Structure 1
Amino acid sequence: MQPPVDPAYASAFGRPDGVDTAFAARDVPVPPVESAPPPPESLVTAFGRQGSQELLQRPPQPVSDPDPDIDPVFWGDKPAGDPWRDPASGAVIGPPAVGEDPPGESEAKPAPGPQLSVPELIFGRRVKPAALTLLVVVALLVGAAGGLVGWLIGRAGNPLTDSTVTLAEIEQGKERPAGSISDIAKRVTPSVVSIEFKGTNVAGVGSGVVIEAGGYILTNDHVVAPAAQDSSAKLSAVFTDGTRAQARVVGRDPKTDLAVIKVEVTNPTVLQFGNSDELQVGDSVIAIGSPLQLSNTVTEGIVSALHRPVTAAGENGGPQVTYDAIQTDAAINPGNSGGALVDSRGALVGINSSIRTETGGSVGLGFAISGKQARKISQELIRSGQVKHADMNVNVKSVSAETSEGAQVQNVPAGGAAAAAGIQEGDVITKVGDRMVRNAAELVVAVREHEIGQTVQVVLARQGRELKLDVTLKSD
């Protein structure tokens, strides 16, 4: 059953009169539709289109040269946001759906797509997990086999990596603190020179020590004696930096085997004397010289004994050499003669002079003239060119008995110090001053420790009795 129709709707939406179908016949007149009355003039002026016959309204566009006589619309030069501002406008053409971004706004970045997995990246396609696991296992086996082969080859090529060998640990850095052998050698070596002489019939090499800034060099007498006795020989000193300087003999003392030569050099390195009386057995000492023509050689040892009297034959029939020696086990060989023996501070405490050996080489029995005696004699040689020693004017030989030992008097020259004091032939001298006398060489050394004209007490044995005599020493 058709519901009833509202007469108002039927009037508005019903078929025109005379039309029975959905479409009106062409020959059926259609009554005109009454349009709305025109809007008032005020509304047209306010909301109507200005100078345009378009049916659709467009958003206002920027005007480059606006007419000053026309008032600007209220929205300015911005697109319209309200399409109903003009009641007569059925629609408005808005801005394009896609256009340039407003200034200051960046283009939106697309969201990242799905990423490839590791197997897809390596193989270019998906791989079954079982196949991938098998591939990893094979790679591990190949790597392990290669490492094992390399380890075996390394062990075979280097015996030090054998498991039966244990390497000693070493420190990463080498330290040379002050007072070490290397530190002392670095400071002292520039003051030790090689002494060379060459003549028609003589040639040789020894050592020397610079002891004064004027170019004075202390050495052994037996080093310079051949050059001093041969007028054709030229004497020279060679420094550690290679500088070679002609040398001349300033003074010699054959009795103590010391001599001083002089060279003309500027700003030489001078070695300072130390106090040899402070040495004790076991102290470290360093010998520096040119053994076997090997210059700048440094050897190290200890003080083996002190106040060891040493006697040697003189050069070419000269007087017998006797001196109070420091015994050391530092390696000393021919060519070390005249070189320096320094203590742990780098001070000069001796002049290396001789060795005792049955093979001709060093066997750890080296002897150096004490620094105290060397300093005294060198100063006298520089001052006057010669040295005089205190002497008792007596000839003795070494003797020993079950209860004592000493120097037995062989003869007493008339006019000498011994004769004046009443010493007789056959007396055995056992002490001079504070020093014990155990042999003939020690008597000479004990007497030379004193000054000429000094009176010393001498203890001797005569026919089983001990006597004490005061002897005033004279010059030799």
Structure 2
Amino acid sequence: MSEQPRRSVQDPDPEQSAVFRRPQGVEGSFDSRRRGDLPPRGIENTPPTPEALATAFSRPPGSAEALQRAPGDPEPSERTPPDEQLFWNSHGERDPWRDPASGVVVGAPALTEENSDKDHEPTPGPLLSAREVLFGRRVHPRALAALAAVALLLAGVGGFVGRITAEEGNPLTNPDVTLAKVEPSVDRPPGTVATVAARVVPAVVSVEVQVGSQGGTGSGVVIDGNGYIVTNNHVISMAVDTPEAKVFTVFSDGTRVPARIVGRDPRTDLAVLKVDVANPTVAQLGSSEDLAVGDRVIAIGSPLGLESTVTSGIVSSMHRPVRLAGEGTDTNAVIDAIQTDAAINPGNSGGALVNANGAVVGISSAIRTLGSSGQSGSIGLGFAIPIDEVRRVTEQLIRTGQFQHAKLGVNAKSVTDGTEGGAQVQNVQQGSAAEAAGVAEGDVIIKVGDRQVASANELIVAVDEHRVGATVPITVVRGGRELVLDATLQ
């Protein structure tokens, strides 16, 4: 194997040199100054440059600057404008566009369509403040005067158009209309609801009870000029045994004064309060015995805290035994109630039920509802304590602070034989009036005095009608026979 002679890097291969060497007479890579001296090589010339490209990318007319500055040429003058400096400058060696060894990177378009549109938009000038317009002498005075005149003109035209629109926009309106008023006053004859209410409302008060964070409301009626007010026991019972409890009364004119409890009777659900008020309006007390079913009555009170509320109706029934057992109170009463369809709601308790003459004939105490806990409101079934019973109890409460009830001394239940009812005696208390009269267990009481007894509740109200010590005939049925026994109530 023969050894090939070693060549230097500066000594190229003759065969490769013949292929890749420069043409004769060319010394640099791009020698435009000798382009015309190059001999033809048999290569066809490229077609002429399009006029659009030549216009866009050609050198300015009369410029002899080359695209590339040959190494060793002097730096362009600092006074030469940037757009006339040579494209190949001192930084060209670090410019990837001029560095043949730089990598190929595809970049974003030099100019987007959106940016192109924005670049062609004119740059807005600086905005002027109101101070500069008026005092900075940036605007000619005549221009300011013209602007003010235009503003006044527009304001006048706008006002005129607005007036025309307001007056003629709706043909149904008339800004000059005045409605006539009837001069004669309304004639309200005596006995109307309005006349009665005007006379009785000042005598009816709202009762407020405060026990710590709890409280309740009801109504009351002024029954004496010394400041005595009657109300229901279940309205104020929560304040009886609580030292820090407070009771207030609010009159129809807004006067709010504290009240003290004079006395109360849980068995009739009545109580008396005392307030220190000079010359209060006192309600007139009538007679419940004069009432008849169908008579017109008016209820006045503070239902649901709405003071001085007036409703009207009729007497629906008389002598209706109704048991009262207020939740959260010690009331456990059976009243001989007046039934009415006048709207009565929670808060009416203790208020007045008056007749067409304005006389109080009952104290509103209870309602019958279809909801639970009596919260569904009035359905036309309201009950009031007859004023005759109220007068008898309140007089004794004012005099002594308590009321004594007559007792027969029996426990009974309601029974019926299909046609008539009665109160069957379950047991007779030892030493009672019933034992002394000869009433026995199993007897059915059907009458007390002149009043028929059809149930156990009616037996209670029939006995309560009599005073302590009164001798009352008691009619009983024993073994199918009626007996009349005289009992002296204790």
Distance 1:228 1:218 in 2: 16
Between Structure 1 and Structure 2, whose CA radius of gyration is higher? 1
The residue number in structure 1 matching 2:219 is: 207
Deviation at 1:380, TM superposition (A): 0.5
| Structure 2 residue 398 is matched with structure 1 residue 382 | yes
Distance 1:331 1:175 in 2: 26
Distance 1:401 1:283 in 2: 34
The residue number in structure 1 matching 2:450 is: 434
1:23-102 matches, cutoff 5 A = none
Distance 1:229 1:185 in 2: 36
| Structure 2 residue 304 is matched with structure 1 residue 288 | no
| Structure 2 residue 260 is matched with structure 1 residue 248 | yes
The residue number in structure 1 matching 2:417 is: 401
2:300/2:353 contact within 8 Å kept: yes
Q: Secondary structure of the equivalent of 2:419?
A: coil
Letter in 2 for 1:419: E
Distance 2:326 2:198 in 1: 35
2:269/2:331 contact within 8 Å kept: no
Counterpart selection for 1:339 from 342, 345, 351: 351
> May I ask how many residue pairs the two structures share in their alignment?
311
Change (3 A) 1:338 1:433: same
Change (3 A) 1:188 1:438: same
| Structure 2 residue 343 is matched with structure 1 residue 328 | no
Q: Secondary structure of the equivalent of 2:230?
A: strand
1:326/1:369 contact within 8 Å kept: yes
Deviation at 1:316, TM superposition (A): 4.5
Distance 1:458 1:208 in 2: 37
Deviation at 1:424, TM superposition (A): 0.7
Letter in 2 for 1:228: V
Distance 1:417 1:212 in 2: 36
Deviation at 1:465, TM superposition (A): 1.1
The residue number in structure 2 matching 1:370 is: 386
* Stretch moving more, 172-181 or 357-366: 172-181
The residue number in structure 2 matching 1:145 is: none
The alignment-based identity, stated in percent, is 57
The residue number in structure 1 matching 2:464 is: 448
TM-score normalized by structure 2?
0.61
Q: Secondary structure of the equivalent of 2:279?
A: coil
Letter in 2 for 1:202: Q
Distance 1:340 1:288 in 2: 5
1:270-301 Cα shifts (integer Å, max 9, x gaps): 00110110000000000000000000000000
The residue number in structure 2 matching 1:184 is: 196
1:403-443 Cα shifts (integer Å, max 9, x gaps): 32111101001100001111111111000111000101111
Counterpart selection for 2:318 from 306, 314, 329: 306
Letter in 2 for 1:454: A
The residue number in structure 2 matching 1:226 is: 238
Deviation at 1:171, TM superposition (A): 12
The residue number in structure 2 matching 1:75 is: none
Distance 2:337 2:452 in 1: 16
Distance 1:418 1:254 in 2: 23
Distance 1:354 1:226 in 2: 18
Counterpart selection for 1:419 from 435, 438, 443: 435
1:300-323 Cα shifts (integer Å, max 9, x gaps): 000000001111226657362111
Distance 2:331 2:303 in 1: 26
| Structure 1 residue ranges without an equivalent (≥5) | 1-149, 158-169
RMSD, aligned α-carbons: 2.0
| Structure 2 residue 476 is matched with structure 1 residue 460 | yes
Q: Secondary structure of the equivalent of 1:429?
A: strand
Letter in 1 for 2:214: V
Change (3 A) 1:319 1:301: closer
The residue number in structure 2 matching 1:29 is: none
TM-score normalized by structure 1?
0.63
The residue number in structure 2 matching 1:260 is: 272
1:184/1:346 contact within 8 Å kept: yes
The residue number in structure 2 matching 1:239 is: 251
| Structure 2 residue ranges without an equivalent (≥5) | 1-167, 175-181
Distance 2:200 2:214 in 1: 30
